[in-house]
Every structure is written in structure tokens, then in C-alpha cells.
Amino acid sequence: MIDSKQRSYGHWQSDVSRTAGWLNQTLFTERATRESPRVFVRYEDLLDDWTRIVGRVGETLDLAVVRDAPAASIVSIHEFVDKGLSRSKANWEDFAIPTPLREQVDVVWDLMSQLAEENAEDMDTVVQELEAARAAYVSLYEDSEAITQSSITAGPRKRSSGKSKTGGTLLRLADKVPRDYREKLPLSWRKAAYRAKHRGRKR
């Protein structure tokens, strides 16, 4: 995961930040899609037998594009998909990730893998454990933010003569999202919109 993102997007973001980003995105996306039709797929399962996995996805979600796929498309996918596409490192030893964050990722990875099981049972228990994992992540995030507050405040700030374009966009979007749905957005998005809103009030 981390290794793949560093190759694709460069090293402007740290390993720790990318790890936390995966955790944040996974937990809040899972929560936001619980009431929607969905299928979870492990990457290694897809590479191992893509026809079986894609077939299951198409059947579960009733996707005509999968059900009616022409032979030529299937052949082209066969030519593209191979196990060599899995090039990421599968251990923590190569990355300097804080233990609390690493442990939370391990827990969530295991829970998401359970959701990917074809004959998964007792999903209510898994969902409850994901809720607990999300609460633990939010707590870790808020603790980390509080610890680094002095560094953030003391850091260099770019002067701006006008309202931030990004902040203004976040503020406009946040105001249009109903409160019930807004609370399901990733924590990082909600915090960014909150900061943009309060910056606007201070001007």
C-alpha cells in the first residue's frame, strides 16, 4: 500500500501520513457505504483469478457491463492481468510507522478482509468492530493534532491578499451537505471545512 503510493505519487507525503490516509479513507468510506450495494475484493484475489472475482462482483451488483462483456474484452483483460502486478512490500519492517498507528491498520485490514470473504457470516459483529476501530482512529488523530498544535501554529504561513480558493470551495461544499451526511465524511475533510469556515469569519 505505502510502497505503491510512493511509486505512483512520489515522496512529497511521508510514510506515516500515507498510512494514516489509508486508515482514514477506509474507515469512513466503509461507514458511508453500509446502506448501499457493495462488494469488497482483496487485490491478491483479483490477480489470482480475476474472472471469478469480477463475476461475483457483477452478479452481486447486477452489472450488465460484466454480465454482457464481449469475448474480446475478456481476452484483453486476460492479457493485462498477471500476478506480477503485485509489486508492493508486504511487511512493516521497511517503514518507520508508529506502533499505535500500525496496530490500528492491522486491525482494520483484518476486518476489511473479513468483509471480502465470499461466504462471510456475522457481519454485524464486524461492523461493530469497525465502529470501534473508527473511534480509536479519531482519538489517535485528535491526540496527535493536539500534540503538534504548537508546531503547526509556529510554522511559516503564506500571506494571502484574498480569500483562499480552496478554503472557499470547501466552505461552499460543506454548507450544501446535509448535517446527517456531513458527519459521515472523512474526518480530514470535515476538519478542513471547519477551518475554512472559521477563517472566513475572522476576516
Q: DSSP secondary structure string, 115-176?
A: HT-TT---HHHHHHHHHHHHHHHHHHHHHHHHHTHHHHHHS-----SS--HHHHHHHHHHHH
> pLDDT of 159-173, one tens digit each?
444 445 555 555 555
pLDDT at 93: 74
What is the DSSP secondary structure assignment for residue 85, as one 8-state letter? Answer: G
More confident residue, 152 or 42: 42
pTM over 0.75: no
